[in-house]
Amino acid sequence: MKTTFLIIAIIGCIALGIFGFEQSKKLQAQSDELAAAKEQVASLEAELKDKEEAIENAKSIEARSRILQKTLTESTTAAVAESKKTEKLQESLDRAKTNNPMSAMAKMFKDPGMRDMMKSQQKMALGPVIEKQYGDLFKQLNLSPEQSAAFKDLIMKKMVAGTDAGLSMMDDSLNPSQRADLAKQVKAQSDEVDSEIKQFLGDNNYQAYQSFEKSVPDRMTMSQFNDQFAGTPNGLTPEQQNQMIRAMSDARNNFTWSSGLNQQNLAANGDIGSVLTDDNIAKYTSEQEQFDQQFLVKAQQILTPDQFTAYQQFQKQRRDMQVMGMKMAKQMFNSQNQ
């Protein structure tokens, strides 16, 4: 019995040993499999982490790309808008130049037909002016009707001398040198007619003519004032008009002018565009105001109180018109620089 139990126990132990060994083998295999699985998981986790970082980097690059693309788009849009704005501004400037009334007037003076019409109208307008302004000189020189008519023609010729050159100066494409050449033409033609007048009148009468010429602007001024108030209590008597002319001529000859814009024949003394500067116009305006104020002292001694008040108003209106005319001429003669 003991022997049988012992054999059975030995067989059981062997069987248990065999089972334990098999279980141990299984456990080892499972352990190895678990370790491999862990390694695979770790590898997968590392790969996943790399992929996550790559994805994040990709997202960051994509985001930066989107930001850069947006910035580029906005910059391009702004640049295009600014370019269009610049183009529109240039178009506006070009239209301003094209629509400049001074420029349009300058182009009008280039038309030969327009020039002929203006010269014809100038002669028609100058006839009565010469008769009115030079009538006293005709009497002073004791000229016959025929001599007066011939002298009148010479005065007309001198006034229109250089008209073509003068109108050519309105061309806004001319440079200062070209205008200076035209000014020389005006002076040359005027001097030529002066020689004819001197030959016609003789030395003594020519000197009287030169002296009278200096008073012509003042005669025209007083004639304008008198015409404005003709037939009213403020109209001047012939004596008052002569006194005003003499007083104004004396005052003008004794006044110091520095701007050069008080010259009678400005076109014959150089390039008008170079003389018609803002500084010169401002200087002339200041000097003309001083002259007018000084002359009022003499005018008050000749005119009645009502005439004096009317003359003060006329004086200011005339001065304002002169300055406005100079500014318009400046814009016309210098329009190529606008």
Q: What does the CA dihedral 250, 130, 118, 153 come to, rounded to 10 degrees?
A: -120
- What integer pLDDT is reported at residue 71 of this predicted model? 53
Which DSSP string do the residues of 235-289 spell out, in sequence order?
PPPHHHHHHHHHHHHHHHHTS---SSTT-TTGGGGS-HHHH--HHHHHHHHHHHH
Alpha carbon distance 229, 237 (integer Å): 11
pLDDT surpasses 80 at 216: yes
Alpha carbon distance 79, 200 (integer Å): 74
Alpha carbon distance 32, 117 (integer Å): 120
pLDDT surpasses 90 at 205: yes
Lowest mean pLDDT among 36-40, 130-134, 139-143: 36-40
In tens, the pLDDT along 134-159 reads 988 999 999 999 999 999 999 988 88
Q: How far lies 70's CA from each of 61, 65, 257, 331, in Å?
A: 14, 8, 67, 49
pTM, to two decimals: 0.59
- What integer pLDDT is reported at residue 77 of this predicted model? 59
pLDDT surpasses 90 at 5: no
% of the chain beyond a pLDDT of 90? 28
- What integer pLDDT is reported at residue 316 of this predicted model? 92
Structure tokens at 250: 């004396």
Name the pLDDT band for 208 (thresholds 50, 70, 90). very high
Name the pLDDT band for 12 (thresholds 50, 70, 90). very low
To the nearest 10 degrees (0 to 180), the angle between helices 305-333 and 101-110 is 80
- What integer pLDDT is reported at residue 1 of this predicted model? 40
- What integer pLDDT is reported at residue 10 of this predicted model? 36
Q: What is the mean pLDDT of the chain?
A: 73
- What integer pLDDT is reported at residue 6 of this predicted model? 34
Lowest mean pLDDT among 26-30, 232-236, 302-306: 26-30
- What integer pLDDT is reported at residue 137 of this predicted model? 92
Q: What is the mean pLDDT of residues 239-257?
A: 90
**Contact at 8 Å (CB) between 106 and 330?**
no
- What integer pLDDT is reported at residue 273 of this predicted model? 62
- What integer pLDDT is reported at residue 254 of this predicted model? 87
pLDDT surpasses 70 at 79: no
- What integer pLDDT is reported at residue 327 of this predicted model? 83
Alpha carbon distance 217, 291 (integer Å): 15
Pick 52 or 308 by higher pLDDT.
Answer: 308
- What integer pLDDT is reported at residue 105 of this predicted model? 57
Q: What is the mean pLDDT of residues 87-104?
A: 53
In tens, the pLDDT along 253-291 reads 888 887 767 665 555 555 566 677 888 888 889 999 999
